[in-house]
Structure formats: C-alpha cells, structure tokens
C-alpha cells in the first residue's frame, strides 16, 4: 500500500531519465507502483552495536548494502566473533566491548567499499557513466583481459596479485 502512496517512478525519471543508453526506455516501460516492489539501498551506521547485554549482529548492526556484497559473510563473522568472546567470559560487558572493537574496523571498511561501489553502479552524471562504461570495455577487451589475467587472480579472500 505504501508504494501506491509514494510512487518513486517520477523521481527516478527526473533523476536518471537523461542518462542515455537504455535507461529512458526502461523507465518509460516500468510498471506502475501496484505491480512492482521498490526498495531502498541503505547502510546501517550505528555508534554502538551493544548496550548492556543486548547485541545486534549482521545487517541489524552493520549492514553494508548490496553494493558491497559482504552482508552474509559479515553476519557469519559477527556471529562467530560473538561466540568466541562470550565463550567462558566472566565479564560479559567487557567481552561484548571486545567483540565490537574487534569487528568494527572490518565492518566499517566493508561499508566504505559499498559506498564506493554505489558510485560505480549508479554514476552521478553522464560523464561518470561514460568513464565507467569505457573502463569496463577496456578491462574486458580480449587482448587486455588476457594480459591482466596473467598478473591478477581472484581468490576466496578477494582480488589478489598472482604468483606468476
């Protein structure tokens, strides 16, 4: 029901309708609010994830957004870290503070990565869109991509230099 009252399509057309390529046609063909679910891409930024003996983990505490692509991994890491600090802990509040102190830097870096990726996926201007598109075309050009594959690889830990 809220989608009918707050149809974002006019705002989307005003903000992105002039970016070119297939976007104007896509927006023109978008169904009405009664036929589509709109959502917001957002991050959770909290000063603290715990208060007394109440703790938030995963997206409730440090959602990185779909742009970063690390939500499930961080949720699992958070659950594991919480279990580790609580295992045998006598001072629960101190253990919870250690949990947050240990995990916060990783969560904040992933949130920063999400904000950087959002700028890449949703460029602010046609010029930025052209830079993104040109970069992707250059990186995927077969002679260059073959050369890059010789020096770089992807691992379960992310992008890394190859040992070639």
| pLDDT tens digits, one per residue of 75-125 | 999 999 999 999 999 999 999 999 999 999 999 998 888 888 888 888 888
**Within 10 A of 163 (CB to CB), how many other CB atoms are there?**
5
Q: Kindly report whether the global pTM for this prediction surpasses the value 0.85.
A: no
Both tokens assigned to 121? 């996926």
160 by DSSP, 3-state: which?
strand
| pLDDT tens digits, one per residue of 44-56 | 788 999 988 889 9
Give the residue extent of every domain in the chain. Answer: 1-39, 50-121, 125-164
């Amino acid at each position: 029901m809220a989608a009918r009252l707050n149809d974002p399509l006019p705002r989307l057309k005003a903000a992105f309708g002039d970016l070119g390529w297939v976007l104007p046609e896509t927006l023109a063909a978008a169904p009405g609010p009664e036929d589509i679910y709109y959502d917001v891409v957002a991050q959770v930024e909290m000063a603290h994830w715990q208060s007394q003996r109440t703790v938030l983990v995963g997206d409730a505490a440090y959602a990185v957004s779909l742009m970063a692509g690390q939500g499930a991994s961080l949720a699992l890491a958070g659950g594991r870290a919480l279990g580790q600090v609580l295992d045998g802990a006598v001072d629960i509040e101190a253990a919870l503070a250690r949990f947050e102190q240990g995990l916060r830097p990783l969560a904040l870096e992933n949130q920063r990565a999400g904000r950087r990726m959002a700028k890449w996926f949703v460029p602010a201007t046609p010029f930025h869109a052209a830079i993104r598109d040109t970069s992707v075309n250059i990186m995927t050009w077969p002679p260059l991509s073959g050369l890059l594959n010789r020096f770089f690889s992807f691992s379960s830990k992310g992008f890394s230099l190859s040992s070639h």
